[in-house]
Structure 1
């Protein structure tokens, strides 16, 4: 029996190659539970069928996910719109994983070294997603993406994301979370890298690096409204429902696979026509270049950790990001990518 569209969107990938949406670079809605319900998985908590699906995903990642139809100059807008939406989807799930890891750290229960490794790996993966969502050309961003947010609301901001409050303290806090001491430095490096990448992407895409919300703050035209989270979810094709944790994991893996195939096909910055923009200084740093190389491996490590794999079996070195295949108003560096 053919799976319904809902079952397909909430299930694990069943085929090699591109199987996200109806065709390459198309969309699927993301379904997440209402915050603060957690989404992480304890080892052994997946069903046997789901465990098999995760094992197949990781095996396919080792072999390479393959490629799909490459983008030409006429299709660049479709590619960057796909990256904008799907990259944010992956970021939303990563934020939930970060929030759960933070809760483990603050409770001080369980394996605290493993909790610190998970937290650092999730932040590393988020660095990659900032690069991915921000890979659009300035011309397409200014012509298509930014106006689409303005049409939803003239103060549209990533800080409206319902999942963001759970990670705000990590990216805005002046004190690091109480991870085991020997893990603090590497975690702080990754947090600093998110801020640097966010500034670089803003410099690359946005006039004077200002988001719609920042512009409204400068104009003194800002007030909180309870509907903003719903507006944000609607724009990013995100639904809220009591979905099972395995379904959240499946949705994450489906998107990570699509991202990996896209990058294997087109590269992070497609060299198509006049697509390449000048690279801001913040994105020329060797740490950013290393993050670009580590983008797909970091996503695969995150997938394994989110599925309940032990950190020492995922990172290979017991932690850290090995390579392989702000301001009080919430608008400064480290804020979500939506601008």
Structure 2
């Protein structure tokens, strides 16, 4: 792994800089394709999105945990609110790319190994984001995050995420007929790991409790609809606009770099690499998505 002390001064200063949001650990809006319009190849809107450099993101992913000279959050609340919102935004971007891959598989045909491997990579990235978003203590989750979701909607649920809908069967562990061969088996294993990680995070943050959706079943449970999808988007600072696949990839790179800088400044060696290793694999494959 790279160490700040071994880098030339210009690169070292670049990696120290926090360039996400208006201040360290600030948030940014996410711009996603409309629900009925998959991302296509098109240039990002001018002055709205910047095409972030893959190599710059990779350099941040190689910073050692507890690197010195990096931006620190003003408070614990600021750190974990950043992780909750930004981690979910990364997840939504990964779901969008996965949805396009699933849609590309012709009905009645097996998926090729490259597609299955990309789906495995994105699934592992999603698992990493579960760990990252849910890295706060149960006390912080109960005091900071859960009340804000409740105020948004008493039955607030991740099941309302529009980009999750095309992946519901896959990510709930239902083996698809096109998941064949060794690459298909690896995807099945990645999904199983993802489901176990989701259950572990939920059990840690809400011990012996229920999600907001489960808690509200008797009174105000709401099934996923375009309206609940909009509520979910609103909470995670997401707007829908006609953006291309390269804009989706650029926004993903931008957020992955911020996550890497956060973990280099605040993460612990025992957990940071579990999150960063899957992201390195995702970033290595991202240029293919814009071709």
Provide the TM-score with structure 2 as the length reference: 0.81
How far 1:303 moved relative to its partner? 2.5
Match of 2:285 in 1: 305
Question: Do the aligned partners of residues 141 and 54 (structure 1) sit closer, same or farther apart at CA in structure 2, a change above 3 Å counting?
Answer: same
RMSD, matched Cα: 3.0
Match of 2:84 in 1: 84
Distance of 1:128 and 1:114 partners within structure 2: 21
The 3-state SS of whatever aligns with 1:308 is: helix
The 3-state SS of whatever aligns with 2:38 is: coil
Distance of 2:239 and 2:255 partners within structure 1: 16
Question: Do the aligned partners of residues 69 and 178 (structure 1) sit closer, same or farther apart at CA in structure 2, a change above 3 Å counting?
Answer: same
How far 1:126 moved relative to its partner? 0.5
Count of residues in Structure 1 that have an aligned counterpart in Structure 2? 268
Match of 1:70 in 2: 72
* Higher RCO (CA-CA < 8 Å; seq separation 6+): 2
Question: Do the aligned partners of residues 37 and 305 (structure 1) sit closer, same or farther apart at CA in structure 2, a change above 3 Å counting?
Answer: farther
How far 1:245 moved relative to its partner? 2.1
How far 1:212 moved relative to its partner? 0.4
How far 1:39 moved relative to its partner? 3.5
Q: How does 1:53-132 map to 2 (within 5 A)?
A: 53-57=52-56, 60-61=59-60, 64=63, 68-71=70-73, 75-107=75-107, 112-132=112-132
How far 1:195 moved relative to its partner? 1.0
Structure 2, gaps ≥5 residues long: 1-13
Distance of 1:76 and 1:36 partners within structure 2: 38
The 3-state SS of whatever aligns with 2:26 is: coil
Q: Residue by residue, what CA displacement relative to the aligned partner does 1:21-75 show, whole Å, maximum 9, x if unpaired?
A: 111110110000013433476xxx989xx9x95343355247539662335xx71
The 3-state SS of whatever aligns with 1:193 is: helix
Question: Do the aligned partners of residues 92 and 226 (structure 1) sit closer, same or farther apart at CA in structure 2, a change above 3 Å counting?
Answer: closer
The 3-state SS of whatever aligns with 1:179 is: coil
- Structure 1 segments of 4+ aligned residues over 6 angstroms from their partners: 108-111
Question: Do the aligned partners of residues 35 and 303 (structure 1) sit closer, same or farther apart at CA in structure 2, a change above 3 Å counting?
Answer: farther
Is the Cα contact below 8 Å between 2:93 and 2:252 reproduced in 1?
yes
Match of 2:155 in 1: 155
> Does 94-103 or 104-113 show the bigger shift?
104-113
Question: Do the aligned partners of residues 111 and 204 (structure 1) sit closer, same or farther apart at CA in structure 2, a change above 3 Å counting?
Answer: closer
Is the Cα contact below 8 Å between 2:95 and 2:167 reproduced in 1?
yes
Provide the TM-score with structure 1 as the length reference: 0.70
